[in-house]
Every structure is written in structure tokens, then in C-alpha cells.
Amino acid sequence: MDSFWSKLLILGIVAAIGVFFIGNVYAPQKSAQEAMADSTQQSVNAVKMGVEENAPMIVKGDAIISTVNQYCSGTNTVDIVVVKASNTYTFRASTLADGGQSVTSVADIKKHYVKYIKKDAGEIRFVEQ
């Protein structure tokens, strides 16, 4: 009978040591994996934002109107340029282009435009398609 209880006690001790060992090894690895996943996600988001800022986008005419309304005020330093087949219009300090046309008359809501952001030139350019 002594050997049965001693073997059962040894089995319990070994099982407890195993559980503590797995807990002490797994918990730090889990937190390290979570930290690596967060770091990787931040890197992916940074690259994604960089690509999105520099890549041309296809937008409709209402994007021009909202961009001009957002940026064009008295303190604006960014030129909003709309290139159409007939003319080129530049908006900076107001919703009126340099020739006096309003943004709603320049931007055709039914047409598509390619949007380019040129940070070094300080301009957002829309080219009519």
C-alpha cells in the first residue's frame, strides 16, 4: 500500500511541476507574440498610409468639392489644381478658382478624376478622365 500512495504522490508532484513549467514558459511567449503582432500591425499601417498618400486614386467630382471646402481658407498653403480638357483651375484661399469660377461649376459630379497628392510641391491635383 505504501508504494501506491508514494507513486500517486510523485505523480501529483510531477504533474504540478509540469503545469507550473508550462504556465511559466507559455505566458511570457504569449505576451511576446502579442507585442510582435502589435508591432507588425503598426508597421503594416505605416506602410499602407505611405502608399495610399502617394498612389493616384480615382475619385468622382464630389471629392474635388469636399477637398476644396476642407482646405481652401485664408491660411491655406496647399494648391488644389483641377485639370480639365478645356482649362486648368487652381484653388488656394477660397472656393473660387483663380479665374473666378466656383468649385461647384468646375467639378463635374458625374465625371471621374485621378487624384494625385504631391507633398513636395504642396499641391493636390485632380485630372479629368
Task: Give the residue numbers spanning the domain of 1.
Answer: 1-55
pLDDT of residue 33: 83
Amino acid letter at 62? D
Cα distance between residue 106 and residue 104, in whole Å: 6
Asked whether residue 26 carries a pLDDT value surpassing 80, the answer given is no
Residues 63-101: pLDDT tens digits? 888 888 888 777 777 888 888 888 888 888 777 777 778
- Are residue 4 and residue 24 in the same domain, yes or no? yes
Confidence at 34, pLDDT banded by 50, 70, 90: confident
Asked if residue 62 and residue 33 are part of one domain, the reply reads no
Q: Among the residues of the chain, which ranges form H helices?
A: 2-54, 61-71, 103-106
Is the domain of 70 the same as that of 108?
yes
Report the candidate in 77, 62, 43, 76 with the shortest Cα–Cα distance to residue 126: 62
pLDDT of residue 56: 81
